[in-house]
Amino acid sequence: MTLRVLGVDPGLTRCGYGVLDAGRGRSASLVDVGVVRSSPEEGIDQRLLVISRGLEEKIEEHAPDVVAIERVFSQNNTSTVMGTAQVSGVAILLAAQRGIRIAMHTPSEVKAAVTGSGRADKKQIQTMLVKLLHLEAPPKPADAADAVAIALTQLWRGPGPVRLDASGRARTSAQSVWAEAERSARRARESSTSRF
C-alpha cells in the first residue's frame, strides 16, 4: 500500500503545498507542488477563504492519506504567527472534515529529517530535496520547497500504513524504513572504507 502525504507550509500570503508518494525503502516521488496565494490587500476573511479553497482543491485532487503541517512556533512578529496559526487551522479543519489524519512537525524536526541537522538552512534543505527526489531543480518558491520537506518528514518519521521495503518485507511505519535505510547506508560506507 502506497502512502500519500500532502505537506503544508502555512502562510497567509503564500501557503506552500507538496504532495509525495512513498516508494520502496526510503524513496519518494513528487506528485505536485506549488503555493496558494492570497492578497495582502484583502481582509483576513477573504484571504482565509482563498487559502481554504486552494487547499481543498489539492486535497480533492490528490486524496492524501495524511496532511502534514508545519507546527507554528513563537516568533517576534506576532502578526506573522497569527496568520500562520490561522492557516494551520484551516488545513487541520479541511483534513478533519474528510477524516484524513493530520501530523504536525516543527521546523527543526523537518531540517533534521531531510538533512540530518536541525540547524540546516533553506539552501541545504533544497539541495537535499533535489538529490533525494531526483529533481532537476528545487521547488519554488521557498514555501513550496518547505511543504515538500514537511511531507518528506512525515513519510520518513511518521506512522503510516503497512509498506514494503526493498526486499519485499512488510514495514509498519515510515520510521522503521528510515532506520533500515540508515543501517544500509552505514554498511555501504564501512564497506567502501575498508577496501582502502
Question: What is the set of active-site residues?
Answer: 9, 70, 143
With cell 504536525, the residue in question is: 104
Is 9 annotated as ligand-binding?
yes
Q: Is 77 exposed, middle or buried (0-12, 13-18, 19+ CB in 10 A)?
A: exposed
Q: Is 86 exposed, middle or buried (0-12, 13-18, 19+ CB in 10 A)?
A: middle
* Residue 65, all three cell numbers: 492519506
How many residues are recorded in the chain?
196
C-beta separation of 16 from 9 below 8 A: yes
**Strand order of the sheet with strand 4-9?**
28-37, 14-22, 4-9, 66-70, 101-105
Is 143 annotated as ligand-binding?
yes
Angle at 64 between CA 60 and CA 69, to 5 degrees: 105
Is 45 annotated as ligand-binding?
no
Binding site residue list for Mg(2+)? 9, 70, 143
